[in-house]
Structure 1
Amino acid sequence: MTYSSIKEFHEIASSPRKQIDKYLAEGKKIVLTVPYYTPDEIVYSMGLVPMGTWGADMELNRAKEYFPAFMCSIVQSILELGISGKFKGASAIIIPSLCDTLKTMGENWKYAVPDIKFIPMTYPQNRKPAYGIAYTRAGYERVIKDLEECTGAKFSMYRLAESNKLYNEHNEAMRRVDELLARHAEVTVQERSDIFASANYMLVEEHTALVKKLIAELEASEESVGNYPVVVSGILTDMTGLSEAFDEIGIHIVADDVCAHSRQYRTDVPDGDDPLQALAVKFANTDNCSVLYNVEKPRIQWIIDIAKERGAKGVVVVMTKFCDPEEFDFVCIKEACEKADLPLALVEVDRQMKQFEQVKTNLETFRDMLMF
């Protein structure tokens, strides 16, 4: 079955530059937001357009002048895009500090792309105690000050409260579409990826409206279940070659533990009289992610629980090369899957990959395991 909104998601996901030009033509200012957990709510509340960037599948050239080869290709490709002018017209870039590679990116960006202001967002490791929440809030205040200086926009607590509500509404819609996609195997892995990727390049209310349109279409259609339902886990899984491999083999994603996809939408901003404090509490409440410190590692049990809840036959971990936080968690995921009698596959990817034959062979073997 063909859903009318699916084509719209694909067109937007495949042409982020077109979206930048569209908003610039409307007189809006663009602020690039780098993963993970950048406070888009603040950017949007100031009348600016938060434009998420997870890099792109491309050959790295100039970025290698600033990063050694073993650094994460997501971060390197973001810098490559900046150096090559793909973000021309953007006013600023917000870069968080949630992994070692991101901590080095900001200083490199200042020299490599001087026309787009670097704004740091420093998050605490111990984010849940009161002092951690206060630290996060102070980081947000720094971001607000820098945005006001470089864009001329003004911050308002009232507008932030309204922004928080809009983003909560979007979270709810994304969680609902995730539930429905688990029961609609006719939606391909590539189409599923487009739904999530397009959110990076649209104003929140525009994407929410499009997602709600798809939700209505899915709810009105007959459900279908794939032969090989799996949970996919990782940082980023939107490489076209990877999606094509999943679709060709017939694997159906019934849930994801992917940072670029569903992880972004699990936690809402809580109610409160102080919307900036509430936003800091949201980050404190965010969990089940390799880049967020938690000695208990609840993410591992979350993967097992969602696999059982959605009827998954196995788990596929998509490992971004040189991503230390994900590599550390993989051992725990592997042990948990073995105890739960869930088959597990590991595939390794990066932003420079052109050939996915080895990945496809790995997934074909994994599919054959699921048949028995």
Structure 2
Amino acid sequence: MVNEIFDQFHKIATAPRAQMDSYLQQGKKVVLTSPVYTPEEILHSMGFVPMGAWGADVELNRSKEYFPAFLCSIVQSMLELGINGAYKGASAIVIPSLCDTLKTLGENWKYAVKDIPFIPMTYPQHRKPAYGIAYTKAGYERVIHDLEKLGGKFDAAALAESNRIYNRHNQVMRRAEEVLANHPEITAAQRSDLFKSAFFMLKEEHTALVEQLIKELEGTAPAAENLPVIVSGILTDAPQLNAIMDELGFHIVADDVAAQSRQYRTDVPEGEDALQALAEKFGNMDNCSVLYNVEKPRVQWIVDTAKERNAKGVIVVMTKFCDPEEFDYVMIKKACEKADIPATLIEVDRQMKQFEQIRTNLETFRDMVNM
């Protein structure tokens, strides 16, 4: 039964267009949500299907007319897909302003993909103080206004219910992450499919499927431990990367990945004003390279989690030209060295076709850790 559930995750994770078409055929409107954090609860409450747009492993051609070669390939591939019609049928795309490259994506999108309206979500750097929360709330109100132009209707009670649905999904995903840490037989590829599929499904549907998986795994005896590691980065869904990790016997016991567990660490707090509570959620978020915090608690989080999960090493998967991640890596490396936790860096790109250098790096790292 476990494999059957993972097959469902895999089908959705590898064929998001089919999932999108299914929702469109049901008469639903789809709104794309780009990295890293978008207010999906608002979209959900207004009757739209939020669907993640994190790009794909495609050759970049038309996007080069708008971007220089040294920008993040995730963002470039998103624009490439938009120009090529891969997102055709979507009612809009919401793009947050959490890094410089995302800011340029929104402006370029307006000219390159004119049939899918761009909705900006402008976040403050200082998100925790009252003025930062007020700024975030104003940004959400702007999103609501733009969604109303598309036929959505905002209702505070509906948002409160969507907040509850998303909180429940967060809790289930956190529990799933804990359960997976105790099951070395679950591959990196399967783990990736579980997280990736969440971007392409209504959260209540994904929650139900993950709950089935948890129930099955909790009733299954785990296999013998392989090599427990933590993986950190923005995106780790490349099939060849996960195949190499599985081939070399790595077991991901925790992750610090923007497209995976980082999405589910923070719930919407209780409150009478659902929109205010949602803004407070963003204020409470942390431990991420694109969330400003001069103290950089993310670094210590990685070290503490590695110790808690008995990880033997940390694998940092660096998305090429991702400035926020590159800035943090130096501190992560130093913190791991101080804590005597082996760490290695591998670099990935949406256009990568050859992974032999990564294989050599990870094979050397495995052998070093096992000495």
Range of TM-score over shorter length: over 0.9
Q: TM-score, normalised by structure 2?
A: 0.99
| C-alpha distance in structure 2 between counterparts of 1:129 and 1:214, whole Å | 39
Using the TM superposition, give the Cα deviation of residue 274 of structure 1 relative to its aligned residue in structure 2, in angstroms.
0.2
Residue 285 of structure 2 is matched in structure 1 by 286
Equivalent residues of 1:3, 1:214 under 8 A apart: no
Residue-by-residue CA offset, 1:315-344 (whole Å, 9 max, x unaligned): 000000000100000000000000100001
**Separation of aligned partners in 2, 1:351 and 1:214:** 30
Conservation of the 8 A alpha-carbon contact between 2:2 and 2:217: no
Equivalent position of 1:110 in the other structure: 110
Question: Where does residue 176 of structure 1 map in the other structure?
Answer: 175
Deviations 1:149-203 (A, max 9, x none): 1x21100000000000000000000000000111101110000000000000000
Q: Determine if contact 1:226/1:250 at 8 Å carries over to the other structure.
A: no
Distance (Å, rounded) in 2 between the aligned partners of 1:186 and 1:42: 37
Say whether the 8 Å CA contact 2:67–2:76 is kept in structure 1: yes
1:55-70, aligned counterparts within 5 Å?
55-70=55-70
Give TM-score scaled by structure 1 length.
0.99
In structure 1, what is the Cα distance between the partners aligned to 2:301 and 2:294?
15
CA contact (8 A) 1:110 1:117 kept: yes
Preserved CA contact (<8 Å) 1:3 1:217: no
Structure 2 counterpart of 1:164, one-letter code:
N
User: Is 1:24 paired with 2:24?
Assistant: yes
- Once the 2 structures are TM-superposed, how far is the Cα of residue 300 of structure 1 from its aligned partner? 0.4
Counterpart residue type for residue 169 of structure 1:
R
In structure 2, the partner of 1:54 is 54
Q: Report how far residue 223 of structure 1 moved.
A: 1.9
Q: Structure 1, residues 240-297: CA drift from partner, whole Å, max 9, x if none?
A: 1110110111111000000000000000000000000000000000000000000000
Corresponding residue for residue 259 of structure 1: 258
**Deviation at residue 224 of structure 1 after TM alignment:** 2.9
Counterpart Cα distance in 2 of 1:15 and 1:328? 34
Separation of aligned partners in 1, 2:280 and 2:168:
18
Q: CA RMSD in A?
A: 0.8
Q: CA 1:326/1:225 → structure 2, altered by over 3 Å: closer, same or farther?
A: farther
Alpha-carbon distance between aligned partners in 1 of 2:222 and 2:277, rounded to the nearest angstrom: 38
- Tell me if the contact between 2:182 and 2:253 (Cα under 8 Å) persists in the aligned partners: yes
Query: What are the superposed Cα offsets for residues 207-262 of structure 1, whole Å, 9 maximum, x if unpaired?
Result: 00000000001100002343210000000000111101101111110000000000
Report the alpha carbon displacement of residue 53 of structure 1 after superposing the two structures with TM: 1.2
Q: Secondary structure at the match of 2:345?
A: strand
- AA matched with 1:114: K
Corresponding residue number in structure 1 for 2:10? 10
State whether structure 2 residue 89 is matched by structure 1 residue 89. yes
In the other structure, the counterpart of 2:99 is: 99
Per-residue CA shift, 1:84-121, capped at 9, x if unaligned?
A: 00000001000000000001111100110000000000
Q: Is the 8 A contact 1:226 1:251 kept in 2?
A: no
Identity of aligned residues (%): 71
Give 1:2 deviation, angstroms. 4.8
Cα distance in 2 for partners of 1:26, 1:361 equals 47
What's the secondary structure of 1:3's corresponding residue? helix
Residue 159 of structure 1 corresponds to: 158
- Residue 180 of structure 1: SS of its match in structure 2? helix
Alignment partners' CA distance in 2, 1:249 and 1:140: 45
Where structure 2 has 5 or more consecutive residues not aligned to the other structure, the ranges are none
* 1:23-78: CA deviation from partner (whole Å, max 9, x where unpaired): 00000001000011100000000010000111101100100000000010000000
1:1-372 matches, cutoff 5 A: 2-149=2-149, 151-372=150-371
Q: 1:354 to 1:22 in 2, by over 3 A?
A: same
Residue type of the partner of 1:49? V
Count, aligned residues:
371
CA distance in 2, matches of 1:327, 1:171: 28
- Asked if the contact 2:2/2:213 (under 8 Å) is kept, the reply is no
Structure 2 distance, partners of 1:19, 1:3, is 20
